[in-house]
């Protein structure tokens, strides 16, 4: 019996992994989880309930009760949700609950696509396909700058965003728990010189090749 097609897509901020993961999921008709929204959703639910996001046990309870429908909240990508996410992410009970949530999603019998920062190394080490999407810091900063400008921001400074991207890279790759790094068996996909269509084609080639090889064993 063929094992589920679980696709783990990792990479640093603004590498394009979210947009790519959504297209890959649609192409292979697989459920998709943007794991970056989970901590934001927990923080948002805590705020709506008037609870304390700095209380580890209370935050853990909300994390254990998280439902996929909570991820549809359009405010999750806003600044407030981001601030709340950073406050609840430090709590062990929250991290434990959300790891369980992600692994349960990945274990669907039909497979799934998950994107984040430690999917192939921590959440789904047994995923059939692992792709680590990256790009140079300068390219990622430019993409982030263009995105903000497109959303109407007129106070965007490229040099400041580039410094933030580099600082986040250093923080993510240097943390003691689940540092940002490719899994040993991940396929590296550098999108520095690729638009989304070219990146999508390259990802599909990786998936198709991996599926053929794995199904022969």
pLDDT digits (tens, 9 = 90+) for 13-69: 888 899 999 999 999 999 999 998 999 999 999 999 999 999 999 999 999 999 999
pLDDT at residue number 202? 96
pLDDT(177) > 90:
no
- Note the pLDDT of residue 1: 44
Q: Do 173 and 137 meet the contact criterion of CB atoms below 8 Å apart?
A: no
> Mean pLDDT of all residues in the chain?
90
Is there a binding annotation on residue 14?
A: yes
Span 133-155, average pLDDT: 89
Higher pLDDT, 179 or 143: 143
Cα dihedral: 20, 204, 179, 163 (round 10) = -40
Mean of the pLDDT values across residues 132-152? 91
Judge whether 126 and 3 are in contact, CB under 8 Å: no
pLDDT value at 217 more than 60? no
Q: Is 198 among the annotated ligand-binding positions?
A: no
The pTM of the whole model exceeds 0.85: yes
Per-residue pLDDT at 174 exceeds 90? no
Question: Is residue 216 pLDDT above 70, yes or no?
Answer: no
Annotation: CATH topology of 1-31+118-217:
Rossmann fold (3.40.50)
120 annotated binding-site participant: no
Q: Is 16 annotated as a binding residue?
A: yes
Q: What is the pLDDT of residue 138?
A: 96
Nearest partner of 12 among 96, 116, 150, 149, judged by Cα: 116
The annotation status of 17 as a binding-site residue, yes or no, is yes
pLDDT tens-digit profile of 92-141?
A: 999 999 999 999 999 999 999 999 888 999 999 999 999 999 999 999 99
- Look at residue 2 in the predicted model and tell me its pLDDT: 59
Q: What is the pLDDT of residue 127?
A: 93
187-190 and 32-34: which strand pairing? unpaired
The answer to whether 12 is annotated as binding is yes
What digits encode the pLDDT tens for the residues 185-208? Answer: 999 999 999 999 999 999 999 999
CATH 3.40.50.300 domain extents, the chain: 1-31+118-217
Both tokens of residue 20? 């790519």
């Amino acid at each position: 019996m063929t094992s589920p097609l679980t696709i783990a897509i990792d990479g640093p901020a603004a590498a394009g992994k979210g947009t790519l993961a959504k297209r890959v999921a649609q192409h292979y008709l697989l459920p998709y989880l943007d794991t970056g929204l989970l901590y934001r959703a927990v923080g948002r639910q805590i705020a709506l309930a008037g609870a304390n996001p700095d209380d580890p046990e209370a935050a853990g309870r909300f994390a254990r009760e998280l439902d996929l429908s909570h991820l549809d909240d359009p405010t999750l990508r806003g600044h407030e949700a981001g601030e709340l996410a950073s406050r609840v992410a430090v709590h062990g009970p929250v991290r434990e609950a959300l790891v369980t949530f992600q692994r349960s999603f990945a274990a669907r019998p039909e497979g799934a696509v998950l994107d984040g920062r430690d999917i192939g190394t921590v959440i789904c080490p047994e995923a059939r396909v692992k792709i680590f999407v990256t790009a140079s810091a300068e390219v990622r900063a430019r993409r982030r700058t263009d995105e903000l400008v497109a959303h109407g921001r007129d106070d965007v400074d490229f040099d400041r965003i580039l410094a933030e991207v580099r600082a986040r890279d250093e923080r993510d790759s240097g943390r003691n728990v689940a540092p940002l790094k490719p899994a040993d068996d991940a396929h590296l996909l550098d999108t520095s010189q690729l638009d989304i269509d070219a990146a999508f084609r390259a990802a599909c080639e990786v998936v198709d090749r991996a599926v053929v090889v794995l199904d022969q064993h």
